[in-house]
Amino acid sequence: MATARVMSAATNTSVSCLLLKKPFFSLNKKNPSCNNLCFNNTTKRVSKRLFSCKSIYNPGFQIKEEGQPETLDYRVYFLDSSDKKVSPWHDIPLHLGDGAFNFIVEIPKESSAKMEVATDEQFTPIKQDTKKGKLRYYPYNINWNYGLLPQTWEDPSLANADVEGAFGDNDPVDVVEIGERRGKVGEILKIKPLAALAMIDEGELDWKIVAISLDDPRASLVNDIDGVEKHFPGTLTAIRDWFRDYKIPDGKPANKFGLGNKAANKDYALKVIMETNESWAKLVKRSVPAGELSLV
């Protein structure tokens, strides 16, 4: 019989979600200097009505583990305050206001089990990825907390003109969180984006948003890509190289990166988040085909 364990999904507060039709957010800050790739220096207002969410702080929000870790039937489900299952991808809000976003940890730092949201299963629980019926592991530990931005989707029908015309990988947007604390599978962290890397994996665009937890002791010191270089020297290069090379031990070629093989700045990362939130909104409204993706 499968075992089940229930625990809090957030250290201090938790969130629930209500889908609302409202603008996502506006980018209205001007960047006086742009030594790295930028998302223009002019005001941009997003006027489209999107499916977005308000944050509802809920200390009772929990995750429920079913099965044993590192087994094929292991799942991490998310429960609302009524103990009903919800989708971490669709039901947890993305935007929290004041430049903060929710981030869901799939793979804690210094671990190697390849955990991910099961986008084709009801309530999209977190599970360990498989290949040919076997559990997947990275060849070595990942050095940062890794997971997804809820309510985002990289549309496989959209070609990105900035990144060699690559199409989206049909998944939520990935986050690499560079804070010092090791997260837990299913934990929700409040983060602020700092940079973006445009990984091209077997021809598909697979964005990596570099971010930091707002609870990290150094969070106030870093607000953009330059702060990462100053206070976390070498980290952006290390992230790029890690994701470039992790498939090589399995005999596969290295992954590539667009945008000149460099990280783009915070404004560009916000642009990626905005656009993929738009794509997700179209997906859940069924304006685009869902294929095998679960919308529950």
Angle at 210 between CA 76 and CA 196, to 5 degrees: 120
Contacts of 185 (CB under 8 A, 6+ apart): 76, 105, 106, 107, 108, 115, 126
What φ, ψ does residue 100 adopt, rounded to 5°?
-105, 150
Burial class (CB in 10 A: 0-12, 13-18, 19+), 28: exposed
The catalytic position among 57, 74, 137, 138 is 138
Question: Could you give the count of Cα atoms lying within 13 Å of 127 in the half-sphere of its Cβ?
Answer: 20
Closest CA to 163 of 279, 262, 257: 257
Contacts of 231 (CB under 8 A, 6+ apart): 218, 221, 222
Q: Is 138 a catalytic residue?
A: yes
Measured between alpha carbons, how far is 279 from 25 in angstroms, rounded to an integer?
15
Q: Would you state the torsion angle of the CA atoms of residues 218, 144, 237, 277, taken in this order, to the nearest 10 degrees?
A: -90
State the DSSP string of 41-109: SS-B---S-EEEE--EE-TT-EEEEES-TTSTT-EEEEE-TTS-EE-TTTTS-SEEETTEEEEEEEE-T
Which residues are catalytic, by number? 138
